[in-house]
Amino acid sequence: MDLDDLREQLRKKTARQEQPDKIKELWKNIESQKNLNTREKLEKLLALSRQKEPEKKAGVDRIDHQAVSNLPHQPFLVLENSFRLNSSYGQIPISLGLNIPGQVLHLLSRDKAFKELSLDGAVFIDLETTGLAGGTGTTPFLIGLGFFDQEAFKVVQFFLNDLAAEFKMLGELLELLQERKFTSVISYNGKGFDLPLLETRFTLNRLRCPLSDLPHLDFLFSARYLWKYKYESCRLYNLALAHLGADRAEDIPSEEIPWRYFQYLRTANFSLIEPILYHNQEDIMSLYGVVVAGALTVGQSLENQETEIDSLELFGLGKIWEKAGEKKKSAELYEKALSQELPFELSVKVKKNLALYFKRCGEWEKSITLWEDLSQHSEDLEAWRELAMYYEHQLRQPEVALKFALDGLALSREANSAFEKDFEKRVDRLTKKLNRIG
């Protein structure tokens, strides 16, 4: 049975509608079976819904004729919406994205190609799919794109109204991508999910995805560096609410989206899809907003204007510069973060990072000051080992080194076997050295 016939059978079952929560439960059971492709999922949904049909009651079941009559009959839809440059998304003016320098995009992406690029030629992408497992059994039924177009930021959505029309929809998407000639891709977890899935669908339809060779900024990683310790969650939805001040109160949970689409395929009720279209558009705009917000913060550090940045974001900036290989700038930002108030566990992490950096640079005084502070205010065993090493090999004071080694050994007992063995060897060696001297 091909997908067209299967889809028609699912729609005919609207003559006896099941309760949405029952259908949702059926879908959850099917979705948990990762080895099924899209066709097999539809077939199983049809078979299970037949088995679970309620007993026939007296009278005639009602059909939602309004929902059926409102169903768009095209095999796929292309929807567009534009946001003027003088408007805002949350607290972010749309026009700000045009002023982001390539050096900032390079720091966020760690891709040198972005040094010569701007967001003016970028395409922001987000997919809604039939599942989260990926692979050939997962179909992106809604492909959302965002990009600058003349005096606006445009969102274009390709919605697969009929699974059998995937080739046609991808063909039209390909025409748009070739026409626009985008210079880069911006996503949120797109390197791990969206782009590989889209490339798979293009390949299965004997097409080539033109986005594959473009520089790709997956902002998920930079967002985690910047805001992991500032907000409870770095999900795009949460950042849009907490950091951008966007209003997404009417949004639906992401985990509900595959169920809604399969329910739509069997009922033709387009009202199930409308919230998904809204969700996808909001994800595109939220992605744009957080990228611009993050870029503005990084831009401040590029110009040494971090005076109004809080300690948590300073720490995140330090991570971004560190990952870009700019150790000196990273250390400066970490020191500024320490000068403000940081959560205890995070301050320990920053002090260790700085202490190791100063050690590599030969700035022993700064390094030892940090290790001594860590030994007094935390039980980090690495501090005692570093102090023992410093006094033994740099200052040639084995008696002081032995003191730190003994303290470290006492703290490591039944707490960390690796450090315990290290301190035992160190104590033994230092004891023998002192005996020879004495």
| pLDDT attached to residue 234 | 94
Averaged pLDDT, 331-358: 93
Q: Is the pLDDT of residue 298 over 70?
A: yes
Kindly list the distances between the CA atom of residue 283 and the CA atoms of 16, 142, 274, in Å, as whole numbers in the listed order.
Answer: 35, 12, 14
User: Residues spanned by CATH 3.30.420.10 within the chain?
Assistant: 76-298
Report the 3 state secondary structure along 339-381: HCCCCHHHHHHHHHHHHHHHHHCCCHHHHHHHHHHHHHHCCCH
* % helix, strand, coil for the chain, step of 5: 60, 10, 30
Q: Could you report the per-residue pLDDT of 391-420, keeping only the tens digit for each? A: 999 999 999 999 999 999 999 998 888 999
CB 125 within 8 A of CB 185: yes
The residue ranking higher by pLDDT, 370 or 136, is 370
- 307 vs 324 pLDDT, higher one: 324
pTM, two decimals, is: 0.80
Residue 266: name the closest of 24, 94, 80 by CA. 24
CATH number of 76-298: 3.30.420.10
Computed over every residue of the chain, the mean pLDDT equals: 85
Query: With 60 as the cut, is the pLDDT of residue 359 above it?
Result: yes
- What pLDDT sits at residue 437? 81
Stretch 326-331: mean pLDDT, rounded? 95
The pLDDT, as a whole number, for residue 208 is 94
Between the CA atoms of 209, 214, 219 and 222, what dihedral angle is there, to the nearest 10 degrees?
140
Q: pLDDT for 419-434, tens place per residue?
A: 999 999 999 999 998 9
Counting residues of the chain whose pLDDT is more than 90, the rounded percentage is 71
pLDDT greater than 80 at residue 18: no
Residue limits of CATH 1.25.40.10 in the chain: 308-437
**What CATH number should be reported for the domain whose range is 308-437?**
1.25.40.10
Model confidence at 253, in pLDDT bands (50, 70, 90)? confident
